[in-house]
Structure 1
């Protein structure tokens, strides 16, 4: 029996990008466990925190490792035919008893977000992970090109796009939280500087007839700066919310007029696709992976000056409103990204790495 071990420790934060990614591939791989066992003699095992023992069901096995011991895991006598670390910042760098090692790279944002010694340490850690990996998967062509531009990378690799959960299938609540007006513009993110949210706040000065809802972690340093800017400028057409549940997020996507995402740096860009699955127009920067993910149906800000952004938004919303088939086109474009297809491709890659014919 061949053994594949997948590290999914970020399952502890299922509503954050990496947590959602690990949760979805873990759940879907476990549903294929009996198939993989009967057809290919493959046993699936997951590395998880102790309190998540059994989280993917009874058809797979678990290594429940406390956070304090993760750094020691490479030295554990855990044999495997393939180790898959599905994100590049894992505390688990490798397993010395694993025959093959697949690393999934989401982005190299540290090249843009950090400077000086912090960046040097991040580069050193990343190079070390690259050296240990036998195979690489990237979540977008941009992530691949960006990595290869900055780092010599000789390993075989594949592009495997993330899936995106279709929140439109959830029961959406009709009532909106607090006093949020109907027909609002919407932004949701972790409220980090790279998300460029301050541009949206500046833009709303030129859109007094519109309302904007911003959802995210307002306790970050950047979040506090944003909230102060809203108060100092007395912008009464901007509303704020902290983190929301999946059902609440679905309700907000269903009710919003458009989703706005002027991010500077994205390895993939999950929220715009979530919005497109509702048939909602999305406004994106043309930076990093967003044009690849948004495709031809998204609207783009060529100029990221707030007044120009406001002009583009009004023009493109009029175009969207005038086209009766635009929502269907957006939904069709977003359908490229689904978790079952994502996991199908990972399974094919596993088989290829292990030298097994389908």
Structure 2
């Protein structure tokens, strides 16, 4: 039997992008594990935290190790035909007895977010990981081009787009606003509320859209999140509403209820939330930076000028155009359906088989 080991430790943080990726990849591979075993003689193993043993069902195997013992796993006498690091931030960085190694690269945002010694350290760590790899893959053409522009990648690679979960939960939002309810009509933004998400521009923009409301959901406990809270307090229009981290059911309800989804991000390797919103037939307004034009395609609206006044003008102009034609929503849904996890998982399996056969 051949063994494929996937480092899925990020399953412990499923609401983060790489955690969602590991969860969906693991679920998809576990469904096809019997076929892989019977047809190709392949057994699938996942490295997970001890408390997550069994998280992908009983057709796959688990290597459970506490995080503080992660360096010992490199020396574990476990022969592996393929070791897959599903993102470049993996805590378990190597299996010495692996015949082939594959790493999925989601972004090199550190090149734009860090400076000085922190940047130099991030570059060294990334270069060390890439040098150990026999194969790579990227979650978008942009990430592939961007990575190869900054680094000399010798390992062959390909692009496999992420899937996007279709949220079908019934509309359900618990009471999250202590003094007021969500407005009936609202624009929506969801993210980790990091500086690169450019959320402060959305808040400033709402000065010029007094007739609209904006709901922002995310983690408000960071320095940037606290700065955003101050901006909201200072806003004379009082048309910005805060929500903390939300559940999947709440997210589905917000997508279904909003007038449009707004995402002026500076740096994205893929851009999951815009496609989630498209699956609900909602118009999305994006920055024209990094991977967003590639992922959003011709159906999205793009801010060429990331100034609050221009952003407001774009929304005021394009929203009526979108809703004047009932076919636009259906076009959004059809476009977004190409990003599904079945396609993604099947492409990874095909890549695994090609690597094992090489």
Q: TM-score range by the shorter chain?
A: over 0.9
Structure 2 counterpart of 1:170: 169
**1:15 CA displacement:** 1.4
Report 1:327-338 matches (<5 A): 327-338=329-340
- CA deviation profile, 1:70-97 (whole Å, cap 9, x unmatched): 1222121121000001000112221110
Give the gaps of 5 or more residues in structure 2: none
- Counterpart in 1 of 2:125? 125
- What TM-score comes out, normalization by structure 2 length? 0.97
Change in Cα spacing, 1:177 to 1:242, as seen in structure 2 (3 Å) is closer
Q: CA RMSD in A?
A: 1.1
Q: What is aligned with 1:45? A: 45
Which of 326, 342, 345 does residue 344 from structure 2 map onto?
Answer: 342
Hey, what's the Cα distance between the residues in 1 that align with 2:164 and 2:103? 20
What pairs with 1:41-190 in structure 2 (closer than 5 Å)?
41-167=41-167, 169-173=168-172, 178=177, 179-190=181-192
Distance 2:175 2:66 in 1: 40
Deviation at 1:321, TM superposition (A): 1.2
Q: In the alignment, is the contact (CA less than 8 A) between 1:183 and 1:255 conserved in 2?
A: yes
What are the within-5 Å matches in structure 2 for residues 217-296 of structure 1?
Answer: 217-296=219-298
Q: Specify the SS of the correspondent of 1:318.
A: helix
Answer yes or no: is the 8 Å Cα contact 2:207–2:236 preserved in 1. Answer: no
Structure 2 Cα separation of the partners of residues 175 and 71 of structure 1: 42
Per mean C-alpha deviation after superposition, the further-off stretch among 131-140 and 10-19 is 10-19
Mapped partners of 2:57, 2:194: distance in 1: 35
Shift of 1:153: 0.6
Contact map agreement 1:176 1:251 (CA 8 A) in 2: no
Task: Determine the structure 2 residue equivalent to 1:305.
Answer: 307
Match of 1:211 in 2: 213
Contact preservation (8 Å) 1:107, 1:267: yes
SS of the counterpart of 2:281?
Answer: coil
Q: Take 1:30 and 1:131, find their aligned partners in 2: how far apart are those partners?
A: 29
2:36 equivalent in structure 1: 36
* Equivalent pair of 1:176/1:252 in contact (CA under 8 Å): no
1:176 shift after superposition: 7.5
CA distance in 2, matches of 1:72, 1:213: 46
1:261-291 CA distance string (max 9 Å, x none): 0000000000000000000000000000000
Q: How far apart, in 2, do the equivalents of 1:210 and 1:244 lie?
A: 22
For structure 1, the 5+ residue unaligned runs are none
Per-residue CA deviation, residues 305-328 of structure 1 (Å, 9 max, x unaligned), is 100000001111011011110000
Partner SS for 1:111: helix
Alpha-carbon distance in structure 2 between the residues aligned to 1:235 and 1:318: 22
Residues 272 and 176 of structure 1: is their aligned pair in 2 closer, same or farther, counting only changes over 3 Å?
A: farther
Q: Secondary structure at the match of 2:80?
A: coil
* Structure 2 counterpart SS, 1:303: coil
Q: Provide the rounded CA distance (Å) in 1 between the counterparts of 2:183 and 2:71.
A: 49
Where 1:137 maps in the other structure, the secondary structure is: strand
Q: Corresponding residue for 2:193?
A: 191
What per-residue deviation string (whole Å, max 9, x for no partner) do you get for residues 226-246 of structure 1? 101111234410000100100
Is the Cα–Cα contact under 8 Å of residues 30 and 59 in structure 1 kept in the other structure? yes
Measure, in 2, the Cα distance between the counterparts of 1:177 and 1:130. 43
Q: Following the alignment from structure 2 to structure 1, what is the Cα–Cα distance between the partners of residues 11 and 261?
A: 27
Query: Is 2:9–2:91's contact at 8 Å kept on the other side of the alignment?
Result: no
